[in-house]
Structures are given as structure tokens and as C-alpha cells.
Amino acid sequence: MTYEFDAIVIGSGITGGMAAKELTQRGMKVLVLERGRPLEHQKGYKTEFVTPWDAPNRGTLDRDEMARDYPIQSRQPFGQFKWDNKHYWVKDSEQPYVQAKPYAWLRANVLGGRSLLWGRQVYRWSDLDFEANRRDGHGNDWPIRYADLAPWYSRIEKYIGASGENLGLAHFPDMELLPPMEMTAAEKHLRARIQARWPERYVTIGRTVNLTKEHNGRGPCNYRNICQRGCSFGAYFSSLSATLPDAQKTGLLTVKTDAVVHRIVTDPKTGRARGVEVIDAMTKKRTTYTSRIVFLNAGAEASVQILLQSADARHPNGLGNQGDVLGRYICDHDAASVFGVLPGLTDRYYYGRRANGIYIPRFRNLRGVREEGVEFDRGYVLQGGSARLGWADMAGDGDDFGADFKKRLATPGPWMVYLAGVFESLPRRENRITLDPQARDRYGLPQLRFDVARGDNENRIAEDIVREGTAMLQAAGVQDVQKMRIGSLPGLMIHVQGGARMGNDPSQSVLNAHNQVHGVPNVFVTDGAMMASGGSVNPSLTFMALTARAVEFAVDQIKAGAL
């Protein structure tokens, strides 16, 4: 048949944008379908330069509005949801879902997706991550290893412009990095004290996609730390600042926003995908666009939903769902933190607002199995930072007034230091997403039903983070150390992975080693849904590397006449 496009990409976030760029630069005519509203780089960032004193209600969120429209999005633990970016997030009141168990489905509602809102931390997986399922028996063995992805990591890193420091550790692979950002005096003090007592625990600056110098036409970071408003300088990597503009330069890209994907349409004779059926969010009109291949990049939860909705005669339980695996083994990240006040260093400050922190690579179970004295499987990393407490923390102290009061408010307070341990939840069959048999959304589509919970292993890791994190801070002289469990609610860390995992056995996986859906070889899934486990480190770099790898394979297959 004649196709309108060579490829359709569903989703415009981190992986959708990367798929569009890689496909168009290889000569493919591409349609990107985005559920959210249109947004233009630079011109669309309406709050980017609004000063604090001009912010509505001085930046305080309306509690009634939050309760009505954003009860889930506003729960984000690291302050990602603010007055200046809430217009990028979905309204929970308009996009409901069913919680068999409590779950936070955090979603953007604009072109570019969560690439506008992410934390920008990028790290390579190692074979410690890729071999974890096989070594400890949790989940399905990965069909690839680090060597399969290493050249793709390099390709992506050279493009996106990550900064940071290489340490030469096998379980924390070196990367193609721009010059690192500088640590604060408190962080350097913390590093010296920790590594003096625990030489195997390395404290380094975070590896971030906030540029430390001009790169690929994008300007360097201005140290404003308002990245999630949108950055006109392009100093942080997003689909709007990089991949979609580069795809548009080829003349081969078409973008349709307000496009709610219902299903991937298959040919009953061949079993292969022939297009995508879309509902216009404004008019409710249905349209089917045709293509040779489909890349599914809607985000782990949404991609699973689309695969389930795409059931046909050959795949009655959802595309690729030959062994009742689709929607199962959801394994997002969890987190716990410790923090306190570091005395001294009051004559030291720092430049600007650095949109980055410090990082301690994994130091538990480095042989891939439980070490002696460790009560859990897998491991964790620590991300942290420091800042001088300011006038807001001291305004209620003291009984002075007048000139002395003003002077005290203008004097920086003590140093606050924190460490947050980020760790994976184990892939468990019972942690799953399904289509609810009764609840429907405003387009008449089934709502997603979430049945995902934490387990004992996650609780034991959290306990170890608090114990070891407290010991490290106290070794540095930090006082009044407090603890907090951050990610106990599944979904809250936004590093959701699994649901359509990769594998060699179609009865135990949804995708093969090249991200093709089993039984539907011209459909590729390269977002978080593809992951067979969650790993310890932030996953976005791995998502992008696997996307670029899958694109090359798909294009080669098209040119060979196989797709």
C-alpha cells in the first residue's frame, strides 16, 4: 500500500524527540503525534522572565485550585510543580485514572512533554544493571549488555552536551563530558570527610545536561535554576530546544498536537502495523494516519495503555502480549533522604543558583549479589547538595528591629546539606497496569487502572540510606540530621519503567533486543515501558541511547525491504 509517512512517532518527549531527529536525519518522512497542546521554543515560555515580586500571589499556589485540578501533580517531592510551570502539567480533573492502590501518574500536557520538566541528570547504565535480573533472579534477563549500548551512549552524549566528572569506575562508566560545574565549599568539605573515612565512596558533581559552555548552537547555563519554566538559551536539553528543531531542519517532519492516540492499526492479513488512529482533542474527530513503521514513545504508562488498546484478532490481549506480560513488572524508582545543618564556612558562598547537585555512585552489592551484612538486593545512588539558608529561615528569630533587623535579614544563614538516596524497585509480576473494564475518559477510552505497590526490599534499602546517609553527614560534622522518605508512593519519582519489557522469549517479554514488538516487527517501543528492570541511576540517557539504536536498526530494515 501507499503510506503517508515512513514513520509515525507517538509522543514528543525525551525519546519521541530523539526518535524524530534520528529518523528524519536518516531520510525518513516522519509524523510526530503529541497529545498535549502546542508550545514554541522561546516564544512559548511565558513565565521565563517573570520576577518573583511580579509572580501571581508572590508565587504561592492556590490551595483550592490544587485540590480541584492538580491533587496528584502538585504532590511532586522536589518542587518540580510550581506556579511558573503548572500550565505544562496535565489537570488531574481532566485526565482521571483508577487507583486500585495509590499511584502518582505525573504527566505533561504540551509539545515536548516532560523533556521540559525533567531533572536533567544523565548517567550510563553498566553491566551491574543489565545483569542484575539474571544474577539475583528478579525479573527477566536483559537481551543486551553494556557493550551493545556503549557506542550509542557516546553518540547521544556528544549531541546533548552533558557536563560532569569521570571517575574511571566500572560500575559507573565514564562518559563524553563537558567541563564540570564547581562544588560549593560545603560540598568539598563533605567530600573530603566522607572519602577520608570511606575511600570507596566517591563524591562527585552531578552529570547534568545543563551546558557549561556553548554546544551545538545552544548557549551555556546562566545559573538561574528556573529551568522548568523553559530556557530560551537552550542551556538545558529538551525536545523543543534540540531534537525537534533539528528534525524540522530536514524538511521531513510533521507535528500534530492535541492528538489523542486511540490505537495502532494493524493489517489483518499481514499482522503488521499500517498506521495510528487518533482522536482530535478539540473536535473528537477520528483520523487514521498511515506509515511503514511506528515508534511508541508516549511515556511508560501511556505506551502500555496504547498497546493494550491496540488489541486485534492476532493479539486479543494487546499488541505483543503473548504471555500476559504487557502492563506487568512496573519498576519505578523510590527515594529516601537525610539532611541537616553544617556549622562553619560562614565566610564562603557560591555563584548563582546552580541547577545541579553532588552525586555518590552506588557502593552496595557491587558484585551483583548481596554482600555480607547487606539485607537487600540491588543498590542505590546518593544525590545531594548544599545551600546557605537565607532570610526566610531567620525572619521569625530574634527580638531586634530596625537597622539590626534589616542587617540580620541580609546576612546569609548557615549551610544546609542533604543527601537523597535513589533506588530501584524490583520488577514484580503483580505490579501492573490494566485497562479498567468500566471507567472511561472524556474520549470514551478506557481509563488506566494501577495496581502497583512497594515491597520489603524497597523498605530495607530506604532504611540503609537513612542509616548510611546519617553516618556520612555526621562524619562531616553536620548537626541535627533529619530523615524523610520521598518516593514511597509509586510513580512519584517519575522514573517509571517496565510494562512492555525487552527480552528474548516472546512468552516472557513484549519486545525483542531491537525494541520490536513480538509479532508486530514494524512497531518499536523505546520509552520507559521497554525496560526489563529499573537500575540505580537516572534512566533518561539509556532511553535515548536505546531509541537511537532502534532507529538505525529500523531504517536499515526498511532499506533492506524487511519492513
CATH assignment at residue 276: 3.50.50.60
Residues 281, 383, single domain; the answer is no
Provide the pLDDT for residue 399.
66
Residues 288, 322, single domain; the answer is yes
Provide the pLDDT for residue 403.
87
Residues 368, 473, single domain; the answer is yes
pLDDT in tens, 443-500: 999 999 999 999 999 999 999 999 999 999 999 999 999 999 998 999 999 999 999 9
Catalogue the long-range contacts made by 73-76 (C-beta closer than 8 Å, 24 or more residues apart). 73/106, 73/107, 75/104, 75/489, 75/492, 76/106, 76/492, 76/494
Q: How many domains does the chain have?
A: 2
Provide the pLDDT for residue 498.
98
Residues 293, 340, single domain; the answer is no
Residues 541, 414, single domain; the answer is no
Provide the pLDDT for residue 398.
62
Residues 326, 337, single domain; the answer is no
Provide the pLDDT for residue 401.
74
Provide the pLDDT for residue 415.
96
Residue-by-residue DSSP string for 401-452: -HHHHHHHHTS---EEEEEEEEEEPP--TT-EEEEEEEEE-TTSPEEEEEE-
Question: What are the residues whose beta carbons fall under 8 Å from the beta carbon of 159, sequence distance 6 or more?
Answer: 216, 242
Provide the pLDDT for residue 392.
60
Q: How far apart are CA 122 and CA 147, in angstroms?
A: 18
In this structure, is residue 143 part of a structural domain? no
Residues 464, 479, single domain; the answer is yes
Cell numbers 513503521 correspond to: 293
In this structure, is residue 412 part of a structural domain? yes
Residues 344, 271, single domain; the answer is no
Sign of the CA dihedral 435, 437, 443, 449? Answer: negative
Percent of the chain past pLDDT 70, that is, above it, reads 98
Written as nine digits, the cell of 150 is 556503549
Provide the pLDDT for residue 77.
85
In this structure, is residue 287 part of a structural domain? yes
Residues 300, 344, single domain; the answer is no
- The pTM of this model reads 0.96
Residues 336, 407, single domain; the answer is yes
In this structure, is residue 354 part of a structural domain? yes
Amino acid occupying residue 459 = N
Strand, coil or helix: what is 466?
Answer: helix
Q: How far apart are CA 257 and CA 35, in angstroms?
A: 6
Provide the pLDDT for residue 394.
58
In this structure, is residue 93 part of a structural domain? no
**Structural domain for 323, as ranges:** 5-37+104-121+239-330+495-559
In this structure, is residue 150 part of a structural domain? no
Spell 197-215 as b/e; 16+ CB within 10 A means b.
ebeebbbbbbbbbbbbeeb
Shortest CA distance to 56 belongs to which of 48, 69, 47? 47
Residues 299, 258, single domain; the answer is yes
Q: Which residues of the chain have pLDDT under 70?
A: 391-400
Residues 341, 468, single domain; the answer is yes
